[in-house]
Amino acid sequence: MRLARGSPLLRFGSVALLVAFDQWSKARVFEWLKATPEGYSRPQPLLGEWLSFHSSCNPGAAFGQFDQFPYVLVIGRALAVMFLAWLLLRSDSRPRLPLFAMTLVLAGALGNLIDNLWTGCLSSGHPFQGVRDFIDVYFQPLFGIDWHFPAFNVADSCITVGALSWILASFLHRPAAEPKSAST
């Protein structure tokens, strides 16, 4: 059986592979760093001072925001996953950039939702588990800017690249305007 480019099976297979990589990377890095059940460890430098792995537990959304609304976040993520899956299923196979974008955003949302519901780190005072973050970037050594980017993970990267790709696709793939008819 040969899969057609852009087929739903290929699309959802790609989502499954990205989610599997996200979950695998979180588990391996947290194990390697010997993270506590709450998800914290000492930083492990990878590329000088600017890139390291450092496990942390994020009970909120992007950059730890909205952690005081755990039900809203988890229900919102679940609704986003369902909506994105529906969009991905119904989308045309061309143009490819929006499909690529939807695939990434869906995989990222699903990876973080899985953390919230089953595989994440303990988050005190919250009914759900926190999302496991581990990629740590400091901009000081590269650009002279004293700024630390909040820790993130593969799922967050998928969401970011997917969202930017979706925005780019909206500029590149505009539908052709219908010709104006002459009124008589």
Residues 129-179: tens digit of each pLDDT: 999 999 998 877 667 777 788 899 999 999 999 999 999 999 997 666 666
What is residue 79's predicted lDDT score, i.e. its pLDDT? 98
**So what's the pLDDT on residue 109?**
97
Name the amino acid, one letter, at 85: A
**Sequence-distant contacts of 171-177: CB under 8 A, at least 24 apart:** 172/95, 172/97, 173/95, 173/97, 173/98
Domain boundaries, the chain: 28-172
pLDDT at 30: 94
Active-site residue 22, yes or no?
Answer: no
Single out the catalytic residue among 22, 115, 133, 136.
133
Q: Virtual CA dihedral for 61, 77, 117, 65, nearest 10 degrees?
A: 10
pLDDT at residue 68, as a whole number: 86
Each residue's pLDDT tens digit, 100-118: 999 999 999 999 999 999 9
**Which residue is catalytic, options 22, 115, 136, 156?**
156
Residue 184: per-residue pLDDT: 52
d(CA 155, CA 159): 6
Q: Which residue has the higher pLDDT, 180 or 69?
A: 69
Known active-site residue 156: yes
Residue 125 confidence class, pLDDT cut points 50, 70, 90: confident
pTM recorded for the entire structure: 0.87
